[in-house]
Structure formats: C-alpha cells, structure tokens
Amino acid sequence: MVNTWIIAILRLSAPILLCAVGSLFCDRAGVTNISLEGTMLLAAFMGVFGSYYSGSWIIGILCAVAAGVLASLFFALITLKFGGAELVVGFTMNVLLDGLTVFMLRSIFKVSGSLVSEKVIGVPSFTIPGLTKIPVIGGFVTDLNILVVLAFISVFLAHFIFKRTHLGLKVLSSGENPQAAATVGINVYGIRLLALVITGVLCGLAGAQLSLGYLSMFTEGMTAGRGFIALVAVMFARGSSMRVLLVTLLFGAAEMMSNYLQLFQYSSYLILMIPYLCVILLTLLQLILEQQGKKKRMISAREKTA
Amino acid sequence: MDKCVQMIGITKRFGDVTANSQVNFTCSPGHIHGLIGENGAGKTTLMKILYGMYTPDEGEIHINGEPVKLTSPKTAIKYGIGMVHQHFTLVPSLSVVQNIILGRPPKKTGDVIDMKAAAQQVIQMSEAYNLKVDPYAIVDDLPVGIRQRVEILKALYLGADILILDEPTAILTPQEINQLFLTLTELKNKGKSIILITHKLAEMMSVTDDITILCNGIVTGHLQTEKTNEEEIARMMVGKDTKLTVTKQDNPTGQVKLKVENLNYYNKFGVKMLNDVSFEVKAGEIVGIAGVQGNGQTELIDVISGFERDYEGTVVINDAVFSPSNGVAQRRRQGLSHIPEDRQTRGAALDASLLQNYTMSNFEGEGEKKKYFINWGKQKKRAERCLNDFKVKFDKVEIPAYSLSGGNLQKSIVAREMEMGPKVLIAAQPSRGVDIGATIFIHERLLDRRGEGTAILLVSYELSEIMSLSDRILVMYNGRIIGETTPKESTEEDIGLLMAGLHNSKGEVQ
C-alpha cells in the first residue's frame, strides 16, 4: 500500500517538479514568467504530435522540449527584447497556447476533447529489479521512467548550481540586484535569456511527462493548473531548491489523495479542490511562521546592538 | 605619464540637458582626489563615464597615459578602475564572500567555485587593508558602514588601482566616517588612487590632496587642498559668494502651539521606543531634537504627526487635544505641517507630477469652499507660484517628481508644507542630501516661518543644523529626553556627550 502511494506521488509530482525547477531559474534571474502553464500544455501536445508521427517516444520528448524552448524564446522576445510587461505577456500566452493546442488538436487530428491513439508511443517505464517488494524503498524504484528520474536529478542539479557555481551566483545577482551584477561585468540580459531557455527545456520535459509519461494521450487543458502550482511552489520556497522539492512532493501527495478519495462516494469536484486548498493553507502557515521568525530576528538584533 | 587618469574635453548630454560640458579631469597616482560640486553639477555622470557606464558624446580618456575606450564597467575594471556607488550594488541575500567574488570567482573545475580559496582571499585582503568583515555574514544583516567596506573590498578584489567613491559619507555616522577616512588614507599609502565625490566641504578639506570643482557641468576649478580654503571652494561650487550659515535674530515667542505629554510607544516588536516624552513648543520658537539616529526620533515624529496611532499619551496641536484615534488628516487640518525625513518614500509620490504632489495637501485652498472636484486650472497657477517662490527649478508643473534632483525635490516639499501657513511645523532632516545653496535657502525659510509665529520642531542628525537653527535643544537618547539646553549654553561637544547617553559635568541633566 505504502509503495503504491509513493509510486503515485512521484509520478504526480514529476511534472510539477520539472516545471517548478524551470520556474526557479526564471524567478532567481528576476524574470516573472507565468506562462509555464501554457508552455507546458503546448509541450504536452507537441510531445504527442512527435510521438504520433515518428512512432518514437524519444522524438516525442524532443518535440516537447523544442516547443517549450520556442515558447520561452517568444516570451523572451516580447519581454526582454521589446520590454513588454511580463505579467501581461505571460497571461496572454497561457490563453493563447490553450487555444492553439485545441485548434491544432482539431485541425490536425480531427478530434475534440482528447486524442487517444495506439500510434502515440508513451515513454517506457522501468523497474529496478529485486527491490520492489521492500516497503518504502520499493516505491522509489518501481514503475519509474526517464522523465521522473530527470525531474529529481534536475532539482538536485539546480541546488548544486545555485550553491556552488559561478553561473548560480550570476543568476542570483541578476535577479536580486541587476545593477550589482552589471557593474562587475555580468551580462544580465544574457543570463535572463539563458534562464528562460532552461525554463523552456524543463517545461518541455514536464509537458512530455504529462502526455507521454504514463497516459500516452493528450486532453485539452490537461495541465489543469499545474503550471501555476509550480509557480506557487517556487514562491513558497523563496529560492531554496530543496524547499521546492518538499512543497512539490506535498502537492503530489495532495493530488494522489484526491485521486484516491475519488474511489469512495465523495463528490469528485470537492475532492479535486484538495491540492488547491493545500496551497491556501500553506500560504497562511508560511505567513505566520515568517512573521514570528522576523520578530525574533529583529529583537535579537536589537539586543545585540543595545 | 605621471597622471593615472586623464579625461579630456568630456561632454555628455541627456536629451536637452548637458550634464558635462568640455570637462577636463586628471588624477595623480597615490593621491586622494576630491570631486566636489552641488547636487546635479555632473559629478556622478563624469565618474560613471570613467567607469564605463555612460559613453561620452565627446572627449577622450587616458588611463596611465594610454588612450582607452571604456564601453562597459567590464572594460573599466580591466583598466583597474573600481567604483563604490552611492546606492550600494550588493546582493543582500548572498554572503560577504559571494558578493566580493561575484565578478571573478576562483574556480575548481568547470564552473564550480572554490569557496575555501575565495574566503581565504577575502580574509587576506581584509587584513591587508584593515577592513574588518565577517566573510560568511549575509549582507542583508549588516549595517551600512560594513556594507560599504564590502563594496570597497569588492572593488579591490577586482583589481582596482583607481577607486571611485560616490558620496560615501552620506549614509555614515560620524564614527564610521572617521573610520572610512582612515581606510582611504591607508589605501593611499598602499599606492591606490582615490577619487572621492562629495558635496560636503569639511570632509573634502580633511582628507583630499587635490580638488576638482564642478558647477553646472563645467569645471570651475582645480585646486591643491593645502593651498585653498572652504570659502574659495564654496565660491567655485555655486559660482558666486555665499555665506555658509544663516544668521538668526532673537524672536519673541507666543503661546504654546505644540505640546506632548507622557508619550509612550512600543514598536511592533515590543521594543519601547518612546519613554515618557513630554515637551512643548511655543509660537515663534524652533525646538531642535538632537540625538544619534535610532533613538526614537522617527517614532516621535510619527506619533505627533498621526502616522503611528498605537501610542499612549496626549498630543496637543494648536490647542486641540488629539488622542491616538485621531489620524493624520485631522491633525493637519488643525494646522500641522510635516517635512518628512525621507522625501523619496513619504515626502513625495515620485511618479506623480509636481502639480499632483502639490495638490495632495493644498487642495482645500483659501477662500474656497471645500469641494469634491479639483479646479486644475486654478490649482496649476497656485502650484507654479508656490514652487517659483521657493526657487524650485522645473520646466512645467506636469513633469514627474522623480525628474527633479534631490535638492529641488526637497525644496518642492518644503514649499508645499509651508504653503498652508502652518501653526506647527515638523521639519525632519530638512536638509538631508541637499547642497549648500539649497540648505541655506531652506534654513532661511524655516527662520521666516519662525518670525511669522510658527512653532517648529526640528529633528536632525546633523548637530550643526540643530545648533544653527534652534532656540532650545532637547537631546534624545534611548527613547527619552535626557537633557535640555540652548545653543548659547552648550558647545557641540557637550551635546555630543549627551547624545552618547553620558551626562555632562555641569549636572544639568536629571
């Protein structure tokens, strides 16, 4: 039982995690990119598209990543290059890309709602043999796929980049004090562009996980707010990659629970609210904790100087 | 070859405004070179050109005799130029080490930073130049004086031989200023060249070797510090003879206009910031509050003006008693005006126009009924007259407030606050970051108001300002008024002791 839960949580958190790590780069570099939702949706569609026509899930993933990067570059073109307002462009892109995927679904595949086809080859899952029966540990090695593994690698990689590398410092300084970065010769524009491309790649992978990871199908609006949940996870985390991981897993768990509870007689709409309710409760909790922490810090700082 | 910096015929225009016009500037190696001028004289622009942040429209730059094109800070750094900006360019959430090495960290393999080596280098440098810092402290937790050290270390780390400091003393306490000057002298002795931008004459005289004076974008003098005096520099700065202080006549005082009784106030962290504060200010009197910043002055102003309502005690303005439930608007209607400490955040709405800023408080004009609609035509004429009276330099009243220089903006706020003919005026740091000309102008206006019978509460961290304007001086320490004196009875040193919480020898304090 525990193992099935863990498998479900990993599977459900993977797209949010990929998306959140991507968003983390943007956020740290000082770009407010809320177009993750639309970007991920486009990538999910293009993943199915690539897989359908090539018969290869690898091509599918590559198509998804390409779509993610293209969407990010479009965002970069309008905001970084021409100075468009980030929130406006981000919001518009979400609506635009939602419509675009629906349009393409109907004009290319002549279906509405969902595309389910044998021609869509999903990403194969694998199991590390011998460990599956062990409680807890088994859950972490069963029914994995390359994208889930990449998701968890990406978050640790991001942690390492921000803590230990010059690139990480450049991204952090470009976001927090672009002037400081510029005056020591860092190309803030270039760093932000790079951050957006990284976001595009990771959102692409997230989209691929949604449409090719376990389902092998595309449904209109299938991201269902995951892009925004990823944004929220990043805001909670205040720049810490490890907290992004924690919050994302929590969302995964909430989603798993709502899936699980649907088996019983509860209203499914009510249950689908659970992950979002979690967001609001977490926000409150964080506010309370932060205020207390700040109060303590200020008082101790005052005592030290007095 | 004996000059490390030569800037020849530099001209820089921003639209119609010429910030620098045919400026020649040279700096000798191992010297501290002062660049002085009023606000908006073009000092910072000139130095930003030297640091590659602006490209000049005309002119050339030679570094150590070699002609160079400085197109970005990166190239300037390559030629050994470093700059400590007025607004620090540090990343608050990063550590001291991370900030210092940001531009060029020591690396292990690939892009991975060698943090140990980095910290080692920072510690070595901080010892070599006697600039003490905790390498692992987070910058956000550090006081400004230490942050400035981090900035200097950062420039030195990047290999600066020519170090530009833009108004470094503006945000420092007197002790920190002394420390900074010791550091600068130390750096000079180690062979660094330093360019110090300031508009404060006294510090210019005390630490520099050479001085260049800018006035309205034009160089009006190159001097050697030891061969000149403050008056000569001041004359070149403003282009005419100016007296440096205002003269104050005795003034008859009238009824009590502002009275506070037993004010107690705890801030939101439960720290007691005002401790049983009582005093009164009479019509035609200037009462100065002296004290080191952070001893309750800000809280006192906020409580009297009605910004902070969570206090105990009474405030009486023009015979009306105010309880904590009465807000800012009620108090202002009773004749209270307030020149706020911080013109950027409280004094003015920076994105709004001068006209809108003026109208914020002078809407209920004299001789008119209280209205719900604004007559912009009338209002515009009124604003223009008011701002012109206060010699604010502006094209038209529709320009946004942020486009004014600091001194001009301050004058516009003073103008607005004096317009209503206040009974009680709180002047908090009225000359903060303002050049000599504007300071004297503002001081004269305050004395005019005093002559007309306004009760003025002056709060300032500059003791000289308190001494030259006040009729009575109250010294604040740790939320309490710990002494009262007058400029005639006490010297700056006496008051300085009180400000530090030490009672003076005359036993005048309780």
Give me the pLDDT at residue A150, please. Answer: 94
Which positions in chain A touch B85 (Cβ < 8 Å)? Answer: 179, 183
B53-68 b/e with 16+ CB inside 10 Å = b?
Answer: bbebeebebbbbeeeb
Give me the pLDDT at residue B238, please. Answer: 67
E runs forming strands in B227-386? 256-266, 272-282, 286-290, 311-317, 320-322, 336-339
Distance of CA B252 to the CA centre of its chain: 32
Q: Model's pTM, two decimal places?
A: 0.73
> How large is the average pLDDT for residues B230-259?
76
**Alpha-carbon torsion angle A266, A271, A274, A277, nearest 10:** -90
Give me the pLDDT at residue B244, please. Answer: 58
- Of the candidates A71, A12, A46, the one whose C-alpha atom is nearest the C-alpha of residue A213 is A12
> Which residues on neighbouring strands pair with residue A219, listed in sequence order?
A114
Minimum CA–CA partner of A296 in chain B: B269
Cβ–Cβ under 8 Å, residues B308 and B296: no
> Which residues on neighbouring strands pair with residue B11, listed in sequence order?
B58
Minimum CA–CA partner of B84 in chain A: A183
Give me the pLDDT at residue B470, please. Answer: 93
Which positions in chain B touch A169 (Cβ < 8 Å)? Answer: 94, 98, 101-102, 105, 113
Q: Residue A288's pLDDT band (boundaries 50, 70, 90)?
A: confident
B245 has pLDDT over 70: no
For residue A288, give the 3-state DSSP assignment: helix
CB atoms within 10 A of CB B14: 10
> How large is the average pLDDT for residues B389-394?
86
B396 has pLDDT over 60: yes
Q: pLDDT tens digits, residue range B113-133?
A: 999 999 999 999 988 888 888
Q: Residue B510's pLDDT band (boundaries 50, 70, 90)?
A: very low
B46 has pLDDT over 90: yes
Q: Any chain B CB within 8 A of the CB of A165?
A: yes
Q: pLDDT tens digits, residue range B90-110?
A: 998 899 999 999 988 998 888
A2-39 b/e with 16+ CB inside 10 Å = b?
Answer: ebeebbbbbbbbbbbbbbbbbbbbbbbbbbebbbbbbb
Give me the pLDDT at residue B507, please. Answer: 42
Closest to B89 (Cβ–Cβ): which among A179, A239, A295? Answer: A179
Paired tokens of B33: 């070179």
Mean predicted lDDT score pLDDT of chain A: 88
ipTM more than 0.90? no
- Could you tell me the domains of chain B? 5-238 (3.40.50.300), 256-344+421-499 (3.40.50.300)
The full DSSP string for B432-487 is TT--HHHHHHHHHHHHHHHHTT-EEEEE-S-HHHHHHH-SEEEEEETTEEEEEE-T
For chain A, the structural domain boundaries read 2-272
B366 has pLDDT over 80: no
Q: Which amino acid is at A84?
A: G
Q: pLDDT tens digits, residue range B17-44?
A: 788 889 999 999 999 999 988 766 788 8
Region of poorest pLDDT, from B18-22, B265-269, B271-275: B265-269
Q: Residue A185's pLDDT band (boundaries 50, 70, 90)?
A: confident
Give the contacts of A139 (CB within 8 A, at least 6 positions apart): A2, A3, A4, A5, A6, A7, A10
> How large is the average pLDDT for residues B302-320?
91
> How large is the average pLDDT for residues B409-415?
90
pLDDT higher for B165 or B502? B165
Q: In what order do the strands lie in the sheet with B66-68?
A: B17-27, B5-14, B58-63, B66-68
Give me the pLDDT at residue A301, please. Answer: 56
Does B91 contact A176 at a Cβ distance shorter than 8 Å?
yes
pLDDT higher for B205 or A53? A53
Q: Are strands B5-14 and B58-63 parallel, antiparallel or unpaired?
A: antiparallel
Q: CA triplet B412, B253, B451: central angle to 5 degrees? A: 35
Q: Any chain B CB within 8 A of the CB of A188?
A: no
B156 has pLDDT over 70: yes
Share of chain B above pLDDT 90, in %: 38
Which positions in chain B touch A301 (Cβ < 8 Å)? Answer: 141
> How large is the average pLDDT for residues A244-268?
83
Considering only residues 267 to 326 of chain B, which have any Cβ-Cβ distance to chain A shorter than 8 Å?
269-271
Q: Any chain A CB within 8 A of the CB of B91?
A: yes
> Which residues on neighbouring strands pair with residue B456, listed in sequence order?
B286, B425
Give me the pLDDT at residue A300, please. Answer: 63
Give me the pLDDT at residue B243, please. Answer: 53
Give me the pLDDT at residue A174, please. Answer: 94
Mean predicted lDDT score pLDDT of chain B: 86
Q: pLDDT tens digits, residue range A191-217?
A: 999 999 999 999 999 999 999 987 889
Minimum CA–CA partner of B71 in chain A: A185
Give me the pLDDT at residue B369, please. Answer: 59
Which CATH number among 3.40.1050, 2.60.220, 2.30.29, 1.10.3470 corresponds to the domain A2-272? 1.10.3470
Q: Residue A189's pLDDT band (boundaries 50, 70, 90)?
A: very high
Give the contacts of B14 (CB within 8 A, at least 6 positions apart): none
* DSSP H or E stretch at residue B66: strand B66-68
Which positions in chain A touch B44 (Cβ < 8 Å)? Answer: none
Q: pLDDT tens digits, residue range A68-97?
A: 999 999 999 999 989 889 999 999 999 999
Q: Residue A137's pLDDT band (boundaries 50, 70, 90)?
A: confident
